[in-house]
Amino acid sequence: MTATTERTTASTIAPAAETTRERATRYLLAGIRIALGWTFLWAFLDKLFGLGHETAAKSAWINGGSPTKGFLAFGAAGPFKGLYSGIAGAAWADWLFMIGLAAIGMALLLGIGVRVAAVAGGLLLVMMWTAVLPPENNPFMDDHLIYAAVLAVLALTSAGDTLGLGRAWKRLTVVRRFPWLR
């Protein structure tokens, strides 16, 4: 070493080469993000237009149906049945549910706001889990909790950066100012 101390900054350090495993993990997480995004967006589209998968055309939201009434009024069980039955079919619940499905689905598909989408999606999934306690096939665990955990992993790993607009999203002034919007 010389008498002068050499400073190393982040800009002078070359990034390590990405391993095959890291690249595969990035693409796998991006694929999972896109798949979950489509799951949320499909639920929105089916309930909006009554595409016949889970929602008949006559029950579509655009035809006057309620996206929350059927499930919450007749499918809810367990300790929270009264709570969910009480909000079944309420206009505010329908609007929040549909906006949530669409926003979460689009954010995940596009890879933008993945942290916000993960929190909102996780909350929605946990609420759906509490609506059917205990789950049908297990005393505690079901797919809603698994999906909520996967959303947390996606948020923690910047999964929107690969096959998505996450990198561009993070460069926006508002997102740099409020990092929770990532």
pLDDT tens, residue order, the chain (182 aa): 444 455 555 556 777 899 999 999 999 999 999 999 999 999 999 999 999 899 999 999 999 999 999 999 999 999 999 999 999 999 999 999 999 999 999 999 999 999 999 999 999 999 999 999 999 889 999 999 999 999 999 999 999 999 999 999 999 999 999 999 99
Residue 20 lies in a domain: no
pLDDT of residue 7: 53
Structural domain contains residue 8 = no
Q: Distance (Å, rounded) from C-alpha 68 to C-alpha 71?
A: 6
| Residue at 123 is within a domain | yes
**Selection from 95, 116, 94 nearest residue 105 by Cα:** 116
> Is residue 9 assigned to a domain?
no
Which residues form the domain of 162?
26-181
φ, ψ dihedrals at 51, nearest 5°: -75, 0
Q: What is the count of structural domains for the chain?
A: 1
Asked whether residue 111 is domain-assigned, the answer is yes
Do the domain assignments include residue 32?
yes
Whether the CB-CB separation of 36 and 106 falls below 8 Å is answered with no
| 38 belongs to a structural domain | yes
Say if residues 112 and 160 touch (Cβ distance below 8 Å): yes
Please report, for residues 48, 73, 133, the alpha-carbon distance to residue 85 in angstroms, rounded to integers and kept in the order given.
Answer: 21, 5, 14
**pTM > 0.75:** yes
Give a yes or no: residue 59 inside a domain.
yes
What pLDDT score was predicted for residue 15? Answer: 75
